[in-house]
Amino acid sequence: MQTFEIDGKEYELKVSYKGIEYLNGKFEGGQHEVIGRVLQSDLSAFPHIVHASLLHAGENIPFTKVKKRVEELINDGELSLDDIFKISDEVVLNSFFYKATVEKMMKKEKRMKEALELLRD
């Protein structure tokens, strides 16, 4: 289970319908672009992924606060590119909603599967 701390409070990160809908609206390519951005460890997508994964908590944490916290963690050396991938991988690619599609994509794209397996180690 991945968590994220904001204002001294730790929250579980998980995508819900609200979060999936939020992400769908953030990227022109919809859910397939979300998958692609996770595979790329896209830095600009990460705060959106975290924000979407906090919506289930029902606390209406503003995106600006999430983005600021991500920036602080990176600047303080507490959040690396590897961390960004691992969090996004668990929260998005391994979630019930995305997992079957990701597995289908990996069957078709052997090089992508190898890269994903390498990143997951």
Number of domains in the chain: 1
- Lowest mean pLDDT of 10-19, 66-75, 97-106, name the range: 97-106
pLDDT for the residue 22: 96
- pTM of the full predicted structure? 0.91
* Amino acid in the structure at residue 108: K
Cα dihedral: 75, 76, 81, 87 (round 10): -120
Give the helix/strand (H/E) hosting 11.
Answer: strand 9-12
**pLDDT band (50, 70, 90) for residue 116:** confident
> Domain range holding 13?
3-120
Helix, strand, coil shares, percent, the chain, to 5? 70, 5, 25
Q: What is the pLDDT of residues 7-47, one digit of tens each?
A: 999 999 999 999 999 999 999 998 999 999 999 899 999 99
Q: How many Cβ atoms sit within 10 Å of the Cβ of residue 11? A: 17
Among candidate residues 117, 95, 119, the one with its CA nearest the CA of residue 106: 117
Helical H runs in 15-95?
Answer: 17-26, 30-39, 46-54, 63-75, 81-88
Could you tell me what percent of the chain has a pLDDT over 90? Answer: 79
pLDDT for the residue 61: 95
